[in-house]
Amino acid sequence: MPFCPECGAPSNIGDPYCGECGAPQDNPINPSVASAGPARTGVMSMTGSGNTPSGIQLAPGTLLVDRYKIVKRIGGGGMGSVYLAEDLNLASRSVAVKEMIEMFADESARSKAIEDFKREAELLAKLDHPSIPTIYQYFFETNRGRYYLVMKYIDGGDLANRQRATGGKVDELTVTKWGIDACDVLDYIHTQAPPIIYRDLKPANLMIDGRTNRVMLVDFGIARFVAPTQKGVTAIGTMGYAPPELFAGNVEARSDIYSLGATMFHLMTGHDPQDNPLLIFDFNKNPKPRQLEPEISEEMEEMIIRAVEHKPENRFASAKAFGQAWREDVRYLQEGRRYELNPQMFKTVHTRGRVVEIPTNSCVNCGRELSNDDVFCAFCGSRQPAKRTTAKLIVLGTNEMNAQFAISPEGESLIGRMVPNRGIRPEVDLSKYAPAARVSRRHAKIIVQGSQFYIEDLGSANGTFINGSMKLAQGKPHILVSGDELKLGETSLKFVVS
């Protein structure tokens, strides 16, 4: 029995594509067929009927547009391959070359595929995010039916390979860190105007940058171009990872949240959603994550279940909301501490035995529910009115009803004790709450940059502590997260974003 050269799955003799990963099963073409060396392009010979090539892969040494020298094939799917190449114009820098091959018998489908590919190439060239590979160039060989994207080469492998390397399961802390990166880039693309919905999130489309160890989102747009013979893939996603609404032709930002939840379920439990694509997340009939892998925490199980809810409105409200839940999980796994957020008018997410409150509001155009920080509506694409993130410090250990201080949404707020004759008038005056002058006159300050809050110790005598354990170094700003507890001398405060 033959095996797929890409993923190792068994295949049937004569199958043009792998039923497991979609990779072409044809052997590479003979190097003599393609132009190697100083030719205009390196292309594959086309034989047989229609637009289906008998030789699929570019051979090592093939030269594209007198610049990109193919080194080897490193991946791909039913619509083409991905190659490692050398950029001969830039000191043989390693690049990735993605190829789409026309495989459409229907002319209308062919025209749409080409137009979509061009649009996606131009779109990717405009995106700028550390988790999206940089696009260097795109070019087409329309007479040969081939279309190319040249982009940054990511050398750390994909999450599917990482999972196989660990025996089929990945620990919760590692997956949680990956989830944070994934939500960060999803939030970025979902808040573009108009929003970009990835549609085909799965372990094979998330890679690790070997230099930064950051999760990278790859294969934008190409996942839409699906060969008619490729198994297990819809026109807009992969069976098992694709949410129910995609099969009805509906797509929105929370569709990607479902796919990310399915991806993390697979990574942590070792159970591939493609094995039971229609029913695996019906937890009334199928095992929950902890029944498959008891090492998963109860709170992580609840996060996964929420992410893969059948109805989009029951999932996390946004990638940003999902990312906040991941951050709470990694904090607990690393530090073992619990804390609460309690602003008003929030969407509730349960995690780590407490309630994380995610702010929500409604789109001014279509009325759909959004996260409070969304700049654009993920459903209709309209820009939302500008908002300012506000925060406050609540004094703990006092019976005083109004023992709290509003933090200015701009600039800096000094925390200390008032000394008028010396011109020291802190915005957060702790004089009445600080016994025996344990709080310095200029103890610390809160800095606001955009929607992010920082705290910096100003060389206080008794120090500034975060969450009971970490002492701040003088002059080094530290990111504040809603729910953080601060201790200045003997005075305790809670930082809350509202």
pLDDT of amino acid 362: 59
Mean pLDDT, range 468-472, rounded to an integer: 84
The answer to whether residue 458 scores a pLDDT higher than 60 is yes
Q: Which residues face 158 on adjacent strands? A: 207
Of the ranges 3-17, 161-175, 225-239, 328-342, the best mean pLDDT one? 161-175
Compute the distance between CA of residue 411 and CA of residue 67 in angstroms, rounded to an integer. Answer: 50
Query: Could you identify the residue written with the tokens 């709470």?
Result: 328
| Position with higher pLDDT, 372 vs 263 | 263
Instruction: Give the type of residue at 398.
Output: T
The answer to whether residue 45 scores a pLDDT higher than 70 is no
Phi then psi for residue 193, to 5 deg, are -120, 110
Class of the domain covering 1-153: alpha beta
What residues are annotated to the active site? 200
pLDDT of amino acid 93: 92
Output the six-digit token pair for 291. 């029944």
pLDDT of amino acid 329: 79
pLDDT of amino acid 28: 37
Q: For the domain with range 159-339, which CATH number is right: 1.10.510.10, 2.40.30.20, 3.40.1390.10, 1.10.260.40?
A: 1.10.510.10
Q: Poorest-confidence range of 27-31, 105-109, 268-272, 416-420? A: 27-31
The answer to whether residue 392 scores a pLDDT higher than 80 is yes
Q: Taking the domains of the chain in order of start, what are their residue ranges? A: 1-153, 159-339, 391-497
The rounded percent of the chain whose pLDDT value lies above 90 is 32
CB 11 within 8 A of CB 26: no
* CA neighbor of 343 nearest in space, from 316, 372, 318, 367: 372
- Report the CATH architecture of 391-497: Sandwich (2.60)
**pLDDT tens-digit readout, 294-319:** 999 888 998 999 999 998 988 998 99
The rounded percent of the chain whose pLDDT value lies above 70 is 72
The answer to whether residue 49 scores a pLDDT higher than 50 is no
Other beta carbons within 10 angstroms of residue 364's beta carbon come to: 13
Q: Poorest-confidence range of 93-102, 282-291, 337-346, 434-443? A: 337-346
Residue 379: pLDDT band with limits 50, 70, 90: low
Residue 475: pLDDT band with limits 50, 70, 90: confident
Residue 226: pLDDT band with limits 50, 70, 90: very low
pLDDT of amino acid 377: 65
